Amino acid sequence: MTSTAAELLEVLWGRASTAPASASQLRVLLILEHHEGINLRTLADSLASTPPSTSRLCDRLQATGFVDRVVSPNDRREVRLRLSERGRAFLDDLRERRQRELQAVLDVMPAAKRAALLEGLEAFCDAAAGQIQDDLGSEAQSA
């Protein structure tokens, strides 16, 4: 059932997307939104990718104006990655479109089922955010 729900969610989100960003680029934007100023190696680790591949991905995002690269104040050789204002606006717009698609589905669900779904999703978000935070924390320590 969870696979079916995830696939249907992906279809709904796909309908909402007029995104100029690929799925991997979107992952980068979401990671940067929550972990502002991480370095390239930590980002590569969280993507399960190599630093050169991640760097090329960030090059494309920087060219579209979604990502800024900033030299670390502690080490001039290290580059920190930040979501630009344009990147933030892109994510806000994408979320609005996705919300409209989801709301159309939620509107036809019975109220009790919507409440149960909300409660479950809140618990899921807490657990997933904690796990991702733990993963990024351990990757930053090993870098």
**Domain assignment of residue 127, given as a range:** 2-142
Return the pLDDT at 21: 73
SS3 39: strand
Give the domain CATH number at 35: 1.10.10.10
Q: Which residue ranges in the chain fall short of pLDDT 70?
A: 18-20, 135-143
Domain count along the chain: 1
Tokens 């979401």, located at residue:
30
Return the pLDDT at 58: 93
Question: For 105-124, how does the pLDDT look when each residue is reduced to its tens digit (9 = 90+)?
Answer: 999 999 999 999 989 989 98
Q: How far is CA 133 from the centre of its chain?
A: 13
Q: How far is CA 73 from the centre of its chain?
A: 26
